[in-house]
Amino acid sequence: MSVRALLLVNRHARQGQERYQQAMSCLTQLGLKITTESTDNPTELPALIRRYHKEIDLVIVGGGDGTLNATVEAIVDTQLPLGILPLGTANDLARTLGIPNSIPQACQIIASGKLRRIDLGWVNGKYFFNVASLGLSVKITQGLTKEIKRRWGIFAYAAIALQVIWKSRPFHAEIKVNGESFLVKTVQIAVGNGRYYGGGMAVVHDAAIDDERLDLYSLEIDHWWQIIPLLPSIRQGRHIDWASVRAIQGQEITVYTRKPHSINTDGEITTHTPAVFRVIPKAIAVLVPEL
């Protein structure tokens, strides 16, 4: 009996339109029975999953991290397995899970049927796969227009980040975790569930998306230029070894600020401080490569 799959594609993902037919052909050849829907508006995706959930065996999402994040609530509710076709700019969740950008290879992983249960992050009622953050990352997100991402791809992150960093100003926050309270002066607080975010940067070098913990780092510098020597370490997740970076782990973390600060979840601004972050262990099942 063929596996019945709902294929959801974000036509505005960087590679969405041009690789859609390739994915359809590949999945069909691998024996999957495909029902397909596409949309210009990712907020419509949860309703599509709920509409079809009794008629399908899995959901395949073609897009980037923002498109995947748009589906997560419906995936949690229906407990349908998730297949990933990385068609976005950063594809950080796919990178964390070891899913290649090659459409034939990604389709083969979906057809293999190997499932892995992964954790989700949660902040103020909003789920996230990769990272929720405030400070520099929010300003970077605000500068990353669809046009810029489509034109420059992964290099858009670096270009906008450089513009944002030199304008950065520290803010005060209180972080509560594991019965302790920390008062910080910081330019960035990031709370990671997975390993990668922002186009391949690592939250922490040993973070895993099924380790049942959140990894927080706070970038506590006074001047924008102090971030420059940190950049290679941030890429590798080794910035936590620097004196100007505070690293904390926990299953629930609360962050307060003097005035509300916007919070970015998987590349979309969705909530603000005060914020409660939690890890939801083994929340959903995802199709992943064989080890």
The predicted structure's pLDDT at residue 14: 54
Domains, the chain, in order of start with CATH, read 4-112 (3.40.50.10330), 127-280 (2.60.200.40)
* pLDDT confidence tier of residue 83, bands split at 50, 70 and 90: very high
41 or 211, which is more confident: 211
* Range ranked top by mean pLDDT from 20-24, 144-148, 171-175, 226-230: 171-175
pLDDT score of 37 = 86
Can you read off the two tokens belonging to residue 260?
């509300």
45 vs 39, residue with greater confidence? 45
Contact by Cβ (8 Å): 48, 70 = no
Look over the chain and give the mean of its residue pLDDT values, rounded to a whole number: 87
Using a 10 angstrom Cβ sphere, with 0-12 exposed, 13-18 middle and 19 or more buried, the burial of residue 124 is middle
Q: How would DSSP label each residue in the chain? A: -PPEEEEEEETTSTTHHHHHHHHHHHHHHTT-EEEEEEES-GGGHHHHHHHHTTT-SEEEEEE-HHHHHHHHHHHHHH---EEEEE-SSS-HHHHHHT--S-HHHHHHHHHHT-EEEEEEEEETTEEESSEEEEEHHHHHHHH--HHHHHHHTTHHHHHHHHHHHTT---EEEEEEETTEEEEEEESEEEEESSSEETTTEESSTT--TTSS-EEEEEE--SSGGGGGGGHHHHHHT-GGGSTTEEEEEESEEEEEESS--EEEETTEEEEESSEEEEEEEEEEEEE----
For residue 89, pLDDT over 90 is answered with: no
**Paired sense of beta strands 196-197 and 201-202, if any:** antiparallel
Share of the chain above pLDDT 90, in %: 60
Pick the more confident residue, 87 or 285: 285
Structure-token match 């990178």, residue found: 95
Contact of 113 with 287, CB cutoff 8 Å: yes
Mean pLDDT of 236-245: 72
Q: What is the pLDDT of residues 187-212, one digit of tens each?
A: 899 999 999 987 788 888 889 999 99
pLDDT tens, residue by residue, 95-135: 999 999 999 999 999 999 899 999 999 999 999 999 999 98
Q: Tens digit of pLDDT for each residue in 250-271?
A: 999 999 999 999 999 998 889 9
Provide mean pLDDT across the span 215-223: 86
**What is the pTM (predicted TM-score) of this model?**
0.88
